């Protein structure tokens, strides 16, 4: 995946919870631990539609959030 522009990533939020997002591979992860959604990035374009989101397991959520802390 091409890196998303940091300024764009700073503007985007989860459309469901309005939580900030974290990029990991071809996905943008919501930082809301209650919701645990991720949104796809296709051809460098974030797809911020709730219907396109996936709920991730608590383990996957923790893995991505741990990368954010590193």
Q: Average model confidence (pLDDT) for the chain?
A: 93
In this prediction, residue 70 carries a pLDDT of 62
d(CA 51, CA 65): 23
Residue-wise DSSP of 17-45: T--BEEEETTEEEE--TTT-EEEEEETTE
Q: Enter the pTM of the model.
A: 0.90
In this prediction, residue 68 carries a pLDDT of 80
Average pLDDT of 23-48? 95
Examine the pLDDT at 67 and tell me if it is beyond 90: no
| Domains of the chain as residue ranges with CATH | 6-69 (2.20.25.10)
What three-state secondary structure class fits 6? helix
Average pLDDT of 6-33? 95
Examine the pLDDT at 2 and tell me if it is beyond 80: no
């Amino acid at each position: 995946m091409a890196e998303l522009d940091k300024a764009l990533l700073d503007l985007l939020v989860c459309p469901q919870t309005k939580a900030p997002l974290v990029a990991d591979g071809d996905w943008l992860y919501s930082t809301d631990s209650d919701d645990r959604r991720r949104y796809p990035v296709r051809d460098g374009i974030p797809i911020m539609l709730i219907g396109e989101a996936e709920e991730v397991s608590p383990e996957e959520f923790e893995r991505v959030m741990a990368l954010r802390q590193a």
